[in-house]
A and B are shown apart, each in its own frame.
Chain A
C-alpha cells in the first residue's frame, strides 16, 4: 500500500480497521497489538514501538497504516514518530554500534571512541554505511556509568572500551558482514 491508496475520507468513517493488502504476516502481529490496546489513540507510542520492532524502521506506508487504524491524522503519527529519538524513519544496518556519550563516558574519553568509529567506518554518528553493514548511533546515557566508557555492539553492552577494542570489532564487522 503506498500513500496514494489511502482513502482519506474513509479514514474517519470506517468503523472496522483496515487490513494491509500486502498480506505480510508482520502486519497481523501489529494488528493484534493495536487490538490489544483497543485501537486507543493514546497507545500510539506503544504501537510505534511494536512496529519498529517488527519492521526495523518506520517507513511512510507503515505510518499511514497505523494512522488509519488508530483513526489519527497522519500528521500526528508522523509528528510523534519524528519527535522521539528512538524511532527511525530510515533502514538500519545489519550491525549496530551505539556509543554512549553520557557525562561519565564523556569524561572517560567517549568522544575519542566515537571519532575512532567514525574514522574506521567512514560515516558520522546517526548514519549507516553505504553497503548497509553498520549503523553508528550515540546514546544519551545507558546508565552503565560504573563501567564507562560503554559501547553497545548489536545490543550487547560492553564496558571499559578503548579505541583499539572498538576498532577491532568494527573492522571485523566491515570485513565479514555476515558474522
Chain B
C-alpha cells in the first residue's frame, strides 16, 4: 500500500457516491429504537420506486441527537445547492413519505432543525466523520481522508517530530485527568525497554457517559489510526484496546475495522512499505469500574484481578508486563489524526489558554436535547445546557449539572457562566472527567445524588486498600442515615471528616475521588443536608 493506492481507494469510493444519500444512524441509541427496520424499508422503497441509480441508503454512526432517534439524514442536490435534512423518530412506515419527498413532495415525518444551536454551536474534530461515514467500511473512512495522517507520519516525519507536534498542539488527556499528551508520549518514547505497548482505554465506566462508545461505533478507524501514529512516535509494535463488555456493537465494529485495516496493510507488518510494524488486539473487560484506572486496567489485560497498584513506577516506565506502556483514552487518540492532518498550530488555536481543542460531552438527564455534542473548550455551561441542550423539558429549571461521574461533582446553576476547561471545573469542585454531563432539576434531591454515587463507589471498590473499602461503606451508611432523617449535626461533621480521610489516604483515583460528589453537594447544597437532619438534636 502506498499513497497512490490509498488515493485510488478514496477516489473510487467518492465516484460511487450517488446524488442523493440517505444516511441512517446505526449507533446503539437509534439501533434500540429500531433503525435497522427503518433502513431496510427505505432500501425496499428505493428499489420499488426505481430510484436505485440515483439514491443510496447507507448506514452511518451517531448523529448526536439521540433522544429523537431513529434519525435519518438526507443529502439532496436541489436548485439552491446541496441541502441536508434531518428526520426524527422515523419508523419503517415513514419510508415512502421520505422517498416521495426527494422530488419535492410533502414529507409527513417529524423534521428536525439543523440550524438550531444544538448543531450550529458544535465544532467537530473527534466527531468529524460521525454520522457521515459507514463505520463498517474502511473505504468510507479513506474517502474522508482517512489514514493519510498515518502515511504522512510514517513517510515524512521522525518519531521525535510526531511527539513535538503533539506537544505543540497542547492536547491533554481526554480521560479525565488532563495530563498533557505530548509530555506522556515523550516520556514513553525516552523510556528504555525491549518492547513497548500502546493501550487505548475504552473502559468507559462513568455512568452517564457514552462519548467513547459513540466514537467507536461511528468512526472506529479514527482510533486505530491515532493508535498507530502513537505507536510510531514511541516505537511500540503492539497495541491493545481495552473495551467494556457492555458495548457489544462497538466491539463488533472494532473487530471489523481491525480486520479491514490488516487486509489493506494499514495495520500489521511494514505499514505503507515502511519498516514500521504494528498490531492491535482487543481485550474485553468483564464489568469492573476500577479497571478504568490505568494500573488496574493493565492487571486486567494480564488476566488478573483488576486491582490498582501504587504509582510510581508509572506505566510510562513500567507498565504492561513491566514494559514501558502508553495509555490514552479513546477520545485522545481520535484527536491525533486531525492534529497531524490540519497541523498542531490550528488545533492549538482552538480552546482556552490551558485547555486546547474541543471536548465531546454526553448530555443526559433532565434536559430536552439528550445526546452527544462536541464544543470548543471554554464554552460556558449555560451555552451547553440552555442553548444547545434546550434546557429542562416542561418548563422546569436546571438546578445543577453533574460532571465527571462518580469522581466528579455537582455544579450549581449559579455557576453556569463558567467557561468549561480542566482548571475551571476543578476550581468549582468538580472535574472534567470523561465528559458525561447530567442535568438535574428541582425535583432531584442532592443528598440522594451523593448517596447514589457513594453506593456506586462502595460496590465498585476493589477492596485492596482499607480507606476505600471500609470508608465508602461508612460514608454510604452515614448518607443513608441523613436521608432517613435520623442523623444529627455530629453525623454531618463525621461525614466531612471521613470524606477528607478517604480522599487523602486511598490508593487509587477511585477512592481518592469517591468523596467528591459529597464535597460538592455539601458545598453548594448544604441546606438540603441540614433540612434532612433529625430535629431531636
A71 at the interface (CB under 8 A from B): no
**A148 touching B364 by the CB < 8 A rule?**
yes
Among B33, B207, B303, B305, point to the contact of A141 (Cβ < 8 A): B207
Interface string of B22-42 (1 = CB under 8 A from A): 000000110111000000000
Residues of A within 8 A of B287 (CB): 84-86, 140
Residues of B within 8 A of A107 (CB): 364-366, 438-440, 444
Residues of A within 8 A of B245 (CB): 49, 86
Interface string of B468-489 (1 = CB under 8 A from A): 0000000000000000000000
Residues of B within 8 A of A140 (CB): 205, 207, 246, 287, 289, 456, 460
Residues of B within 8 A of A102 (CB): 207-208
For the complex, count residues of A whose C-beta is within 8 A of B: 39
Among B69, B372, B444, point to the contact of A147 (Cβ < 8 A): B69
Interface string of B64-107 (1 = CB under 8 A from A): 00110100000000000000000000000000000000000000
Residues of A within 8 A of B371 (CB): 146
How many A-B contacts are there with CB distance less than 8 Å?
Answer: 135
Near A by CB (< 8 A), chain B positions 440-465 give 440, 444, 452-453, 456, 460, 462
Q: How far is the CB of B438 from chain A (nearest CB, A)?
A: 5
**B206 touching A141 by the CB < 8 A rule?**
yes
**A143 touching B210 by the CB < 8 A rule?**
yes
**B207 touching A146 by the CB < 8 A rule?**
no
Q: Which residue of A lies closest to B28 (CB)?
A: A144
**A143 touching B247 by the CB < 8 A rule?**
yes
B129 at the interface (CB under 8 A from A): no
Residues of A within 8 A of B31 (CB): 157
**B208 touching A103 by the CB < 8 A rule?**
yes
CA distance A26 to B205 in the complex (A): 32
CA distance A101 to B459 in the complex (A): 13
**B32 touching A48 by the CB < 8 A rule?**
no
Given A143-B204, A145-B362, do A158 and B32 touch, yes or no (CB 8 Å)?
yes
Residues of B within 8 A of A86 (CB): 245, 286-287
Given A79-B305, A144-B28, A144-B29, do A104 and B438 touch, yes or no (CB 8 Å)?
yes
**B304 touching A103 by the CB < 8 A rule?**
no
Among B288, B300, B364, point to the contact of A103 (Cβ < 8 A): B364
CA distance A79 to B306 in the complex (A): 10
Q: Which residue of A lies closest to B204 (CB)?
A: A143
Residues of A within 8 A of B288 (CB): 83-85
Residues of A within 8 A of B207 (CB): 101-104, 106, 140-141
A57 at the interface (CB under 8 A from B): no
Q: How far is the CB of A13 from chain B (nearest CB, A)?
A: 22
Given A104-B207, A104-B370, do A146 and B29 touch, yes or no (CB 8 Å)?
yes
Residues of A within 8 A of B364 (CB): 103-104, 107, 145-146, 148
CA distance A53 to B127 in the complex (A): 34
CA distance A104 to B372 in the complex (A): 14
**B213 touching A49 by the CB < 8 A rule?**
no
Near B by CB (< 8 A), chain A positions 4-40 give 40
Interface string of A39-51 (1 = CB under 8 A from B): 0111111101100
Max chain A C-beta neighbours (<10 A), residue from B205, B207, B453: B207
**A42 touching B302 by the CB < 8 A rule?**
yes
Q: How far is the CB of A162 from chain B (nearest CB, A)?
A: 16
Residues of A within 8 A of B210 (CB): 141, 143-146
A142 at the interface (CB under 8 A from B): yes
Interface string of B344-361 (1 = CB under 8 A from A): 000000000000000000
A108 at the interface (CB under 8 A from B): yes
Max chain A C-beta neighbours (<10 A), residue from B304, B372, B405, B462: B304
Residues of B within 8 A of A157 (CB): 28, 31-32
Q: How far is the CB of B224 from chain A (nearest CB, A)?
A: 20
Residues of A within 8 A of B302 (CB): 42
Among B204, B209, B366, B370, point to the contact of A146 (Cβ < 8 A): B370
Q: Which residue of A lies closest to B27 (CB)?
A: A146
CA distance A42 to B300 in the complex (A): 9
**A106 touching B370 by the CB < 8 A rule?**
no
Among B213, B452, B456, point to the contact of A143 (Cβ < 8 A): B213
A87 at the interface (CB under 8 A from B): yes
Residues of A within 8 A of B66 (CB): 145-147
A56 at the interface (CB under 8 A from B): no
**A141 touching B440 by the CB < 8 A rule?**
no
A80 at the interface (CB under 8 A from B): yes
Interface string of B192-235 (1 = CB under 8 A from A): 00000000000011111110010000000000000000000000
Interface string of A69-112 (1 = CB under 8 A from B): 00000001001100111110000000000000111101110000
14 pairs, CB–CB < 8 Å, chain A vs chain B: A42-B302, A45-B300, A76-B304, A84-B306, A85-B287, A102-B208, A104-B365, A106-B207, A142-B246, A145-B210, A146-B372, A147-B67, A156-B32, A157-B32
In the A-B complex, list the 5 residue pairs whose CB atoms are closest, starting with the nearest: A146-B66, A102-B207, A84-B286, A104-B364, A85-B287
> With contacts A86-B286, A144-B210 known, what are 18 further pairs, Cβ within 8 A?
A42-B301, A48-B286, A49-B284, A80-B304, A83-B288, A84-B306, A103-B405, A103-B438, A106-B452, A107-B444, A108-B366, A140-B246, A141-B207, A143-B210, A144-B29, A146-B29, A147-B32, A159-B32
B residues contacting A by CB (< 8 A) are 28-29, 31-33, 66-67, 69, 204-210, 213, 245-247, 283-289, 300-306, 362, 364-366, 370-372, 402, 405, 436, 438-440, 444, 452-453, 456, 460, 462
A residues contacting B by CB (< 8 A) are 40-46, 48-49, 76, 79-80, 83-87, 101-104, 106-108, 139-148, 150, 156-159
